[in-house]
Structure 1
């Protein structure tokens, strides 16, 4: 069930469209009609089934000098597109309106509903948390509560694609030192074994299919893939994971157990196979926050070094909270345990990740920081040292929705990583960047 927000959104209809006392001049292509008259023509076209004509009229009104007229035009355009099931374009229209009027709660609710219909439940819930952070009238608050209870991922299938150019100062995450001290003799590293810079192409694709089998229960097979390709193919890094599992939805919780298999290729060679079982959990935590958790267990089969074969266990927990209609933060803790045939390759690690985001006009900004500690079980035979590492990274980026084309917008991301290790082979630093396109909402 999707709750209709028509009643809650009614107050958003603006005075400029309701009162002839404050007419605004429409663009010239509207033949100097007042904004109110153009809205009337658009309504008639919409009622007659001439939807493209109505959309063109609304588009013309979004160029008006009066901010209220622009907002009303975008709202009506979004509602029309949503009724035509053009959800991506509807989401873009609502997002453009929110860029100018971020505290327009009814519009954010409509955006949440459209995102849910597209299958982006996470995005829909985030919009709900942000609108609830602003405080709502009782009538609207009741509508939100009904929607939050009824919220499901309605889309039965989905596909997400991302493309970017990725300049990188250390594409192989390698040390910069030329010579390593070993228990045998100093080891001189070849040029390819040391840090290499390069320009890569970043590609990712995620797809899923949802098959309902009962009330609030679905079978969900999915596939995730990530590739970074370089001119020097020996550094190409490709990962593919195929999973199948259940999605169990309850009033305030969603559980997703799954099993699957993963493949990783590095260069032109098979690098690792994994068999994995996971359990993901999301819990609504009040009106403006949610709690998420994940546990997984996997077996690892390294194709190039059997001494690394073993098991991989991980657990994470995080909280996400909306601070306002335009900003939010999250914090997550994680722990990982990796076993191996050779204790020198076995490690235990734990870390924390902080993330914040803010909408500034028609740009979405984010920044994140990660800190992680890793300890090896025993000394590596060749180096006579046990791994002790601090890993730190910072990232920031922006999505430029002002340049949206067909629901996609350009983005830029930059980052810095530093892995300080007691074993020189694992000690590195790295600057990264991405210039690509992503969904605009």
Structure 2
């Protein structure tokens, strides 16, 4: 699967010419981005299911022919045909001399199909307790545990199944695919994005060069790269519990304007609980920022995330983050930051989905003219075209408001409306060893009551993504 990667936010603000450069304000990050990536990964890496075929028999015919009913039930179970099992099981239980183990086995499969994983697991374990050598039952238990988020226990059961002598070759192939699927859950997942940038006003010099006795520098052009890399790994604990780890780094590197180089490195680690439909996690994090090749700030805090699958087409995501940011040289910017984010994903087809989201938060500072509240709205659309889905497009937009708490040195209490639009298109035939180029267009517009922060910028660029 190809995981869509968002480009890093474009910066909208510059520092005063008389002061050392400072980072620009940015479109605040979407806290649900990693959750949506994980949902996309789960949607692609679905365990291979046995093929289902339909049979057509009436209940009257089956009741009059017990042998036929038994054969039909055995066939439906072997092929994992849920519709047929649901139809046959009540008839089979009415049959005199029926095999109660087979009936319990069929009942457990129906529990799983209906989403009652606890009852399904208990049903399979009851059978294994009496018949520990029943490999098909143990395989169904492994599948149930995997779907319910208990990957560690599923792997143990799968290893027991693989010890069964004289397994048919198709079964060995299925077990191999199942084992690969389980390994992916506990493996490192990496994402990367790289693009060239030419910025005609990297210092974000205002159009008004002179204001209130202040004179500002001329616009400066810079050339460089924008990059974004991340890595995630789950450590499987007992039951539904996991330990989540995440590392990321992103920023800009200008080979002809190092005063504006920007790098943010972030590390998260914490516990999570999950099952088939939902996941909740709490992770402490630390974030370090370098600006102009020098240490700029450090933020320590925690992030709470929750996701829930309402159906195969609808997902909801929410997150709340708290952090305290401390600056190396600009103590007047130190303060607490709160941010909340919520998103809804609607999958129209296997090749098309929409995301709608909103965010709200507060960033404090010792100097109240740098403290602000923010709120935003987000929308995105992603689609793969054609039978094979080789050509893909994505369109994402964000509108954000910032309301500052006090007047600054220009006696202006700042109010900004920021708009960001990003359109990307790529084709798998242009990929080389997993590196996929995309053509991008991005527009950033800042409407502000403050002369210094107004901005309108268009960018057309190529980037390269890689997922492995």
CA distance in 2, matches of 1:224, 1:299: 19
Q: Give matches, 1:209-358, under 5 Å.
A: 209-231=233-255, 232-358=257-383
1:35-63 C-alpha deviation (Å, 9 max, x unpaired): xxxxxxxxxxxxxxxxxxxxxxxxxxxxx
Deviation at 1:399, TM superposition (A): 2.2
The answer as to whether partners of 2:148 and 2:275 remain within 8 angstroms in 1 is no
Deviation at 1:275, TM superposition (A): 0.7
Q: Give matches, 1:29-428, under 5 Å.
A: 121-127=38-44, 149-150=147-148, 154-181=185-212, 186-191=213-218, 194=219, 196-231=220-255, 232-361=257-386, 362-380=390-408, 382-428=409-455
The number of residue pairs the alignment matches comes to 310
Q: Say what the alpha-carbon RMSD is for the aligned residues.
A: 2.9
1:380-405 C-alpha deviation (Å, 9 max, x unpaired): 1x111111111111110012211122
The answer as to whether partners of 2:206 and 2:216 remain within 8 angstroms in 1 is no
Return the index of the structure with the highest Cα Rg. 2
Deviation at 1:143, TM superposition (A): 7.6
The answer as to whether partners of 1:312 and 1:339 remain within 8 angstroms in 2 is yes
1:210 is paired with a residue of what secondary structure? strand
Normalized against structure 1, the TM-score is what?
0.64
The answer as to whether partners of 2:186 and 2:236 remain within 8 angstroms in 1 is no
The answer as to whether partners of 2:224 and 2:253 remain within 8 angstroms in 1 is yes
Deviation at 1:126, TM superposition (A): 4.2
Q: 1:140–1:408: structure 2 CA closer, same or farther, 3 Å change rule? A: farther
Deviation at 1:420, TM superposition (A): 1.4
1:154 is paired with a residue of what secondary structure? helix
Q: 1:230–1:323: structure 2 CA closer, same or farther, 3 Å change rule? A: same
CA distance in 1, matches of 2:187, 2:378: 32
The answer as to whether partners of 1:170 and 1:431 remain within 8 angstroms in 2 is no
Q: 1:188–1:404: structure 2 CA closer, same or farther, 3 Å change rule? A: same
Q: 1:128–1:154: structure 2 CA closer, same or farther, 3 Å change rule? A: closer
Determine the structure 2 residue equivalent to 1:78: none
Q: 1:310–1:121: structure 2 CA closer, same or farther, 3 Å change rule? A: closer
CA distance in 2, matches of 1:140, 1:267: 61
1:171-211 C-alpha deviation (Å, 9 max, x unpaired): 34453331233xxxx211022xx4x4433212222123332
